[in-house]
Amino acid sequence: MSLSDLVLSLADNKQMLGLRYAEWATRAPSLEADIAAAAMGLDDLGHSRVLYGCLEPLGDDPRTQDRESSPASIRNLAYFDEPWTEWSQFVAANAVLDTAFTVVIEACVNGSVEVLRQRLRKMLMEERYHFLHGRSWLRSGIEPAPLLLAWQEALEFFGPPGSDVEGLSMGPEQMRARLEEQLETKAPDVVIHWNVWDPLRRRTAEGAIDEPTFAMLRGLEEKKYAPPTASPPARVR
Amino acid sequence: MSKSKNGYKRVSGDAVEYEVFARKARIDSLHLVGSVVAPDADLAMAYARATYDEERWCEMAIVRKKDVIRLWSPGEP
């Protein structure tokens, strides 16, 4: 597992998190929460762009052509495979997974790789408000199932014990402790089958993002709405 | 109070209103830019930042509306 592989997975997850947040921009429980969902979605989509931009300076861009044809080539957690149907899923992702990604960003910012130390620092400031939002909604109480799943996938994202990535300031065990510290709670007891863990996608579950979302990522959904006879506008002299 | 299809009230019973103040430069005074409704200060900060972040503020602050002491209000002598 190289640092580039981890950064690509982080970028893909941030992109999916941003998209899933945005899907709730008109469905959250209050107008303020709608706006927060939209704003956090924009933040995370922006973060993914910055992270993708770090791949070339890292010198080892792991993106391959199959990202155009295979949804399973997108390295996101299973939590983002399908749109969320319940607000509890949003809150669990916001509180646990978004914070877990921030912990990894902290490990990059405090690590030894200069491009990550410089470019990712601003994300930590923006993520402070995601954390406040997620923690406050989490305290108001949510369904236990999505919360348990979010914790499990956060731990899977950190990786198996001892699988430290060179250049980061924290390994999986330290990241877990940091997440527990942030959320002021111990991680629940979850059984993770590390023998089937995919080190590129950082998950144990099979599957991939849904086809409409995959088509949207590639811009195919936009083409559906273009009239078949559409032509470029005439140039005005 | 209407409920969303998710079963959550759009504004919960314990939500309170916060006034949002901001300024663009150190030489400016803080001024009222709007308000948000939230059940606690953490969420109010997140909402204020999300809602009023379109400008490049150098400072933003929130205050519980009930904590603002008014000397007089519109229409009063």
**ipTM attached to this prediction:** 0.78
Whether the Cβ atoms of residue B51 and residue A35 lie closer than 8 Å to each other: yes
Q: How many residues does chain A have?
A: 237
Residue pair A1/A165 in contact by the 8 Å Cβ criterion: yes
CB-based contact, B47 to chain A, within 8 Å:
yes
User: Quick check: B9 contacting A, CB < 8 Å?
Assistant: yes
Q: A27 to chain B, minimum CA–CA distance in Å?
A: 8
Distance from CA of A97 to the nearest CA of B (A): 17
A40 close to B (CB below 8 A): yes
Q: Is B39's CB within 8 Å of A136's CB?
A: yes
Per-residue pLDDT in tens (0 to 9) along chain A, 237 residues: 799 999 999 999 999 999 999 999 999 998 999 999 999 999 999 999 999 999 999 998 899 888 889 999 999 999 999 999 999 999 999 999 999 999 999 999 999 999 999 999 999 999 999 999 999 999 988 999 999 999 999 999 999 999 999 999 999 999 999 999 999 999 999 999 999 999 999 999 999 999 999 988 887 666 667 666 666 666 666
Answer yes or no: do B10 and A87 touch at CB < 8 A: no
What amino acid is encoded at A107 in this protein? A
Residues in chain A with CB shorter than 8 Å from the CB of B40 are 136, 139
> pLDDT tens digits for A208-217?
999 999 988 8
Give the whole-angstrom CA distance, residue A125 versus residue B60: 14
Match 């190289």 to its residue by tokens.
A2
Name the residue with tokens 């933003």.
B60
Q: One-letter amino acid identity for A182?
A: Q
Cβ contacts from A onto B, under 8 A? 65
pLDDT of residue B5: 47
pLDDT (tens digit per residue) in A134-174:
999 999 889 999 999 999 999 999 999 999 999 999 999 99
φ, ψ of residue B36 in degrees (nearest 5): -135, 160
With CB atoms and an 8 Å threshold, state whether A129 touches B45. Answer: yes
β-bridge partners, B40:
none
Contact A41, A22 (CB under 8 A): yes
Give A72→chain B minimum CA distance, Å: 31
- The closest alpha carbon to A79, from A135, A131, A139, A155, belongs to A155
Q: Tokens representing A144?
A: 């236990």
Is B38 an interface residue toward A (CB < 8 Å)?
yes
pLDDT digit string, tens, across residues B22-49: 999 999 999 999 999 999 999 999 999 9
Separation between Cα atoms, residue B65 and residue B20, nearest integer Å: 9
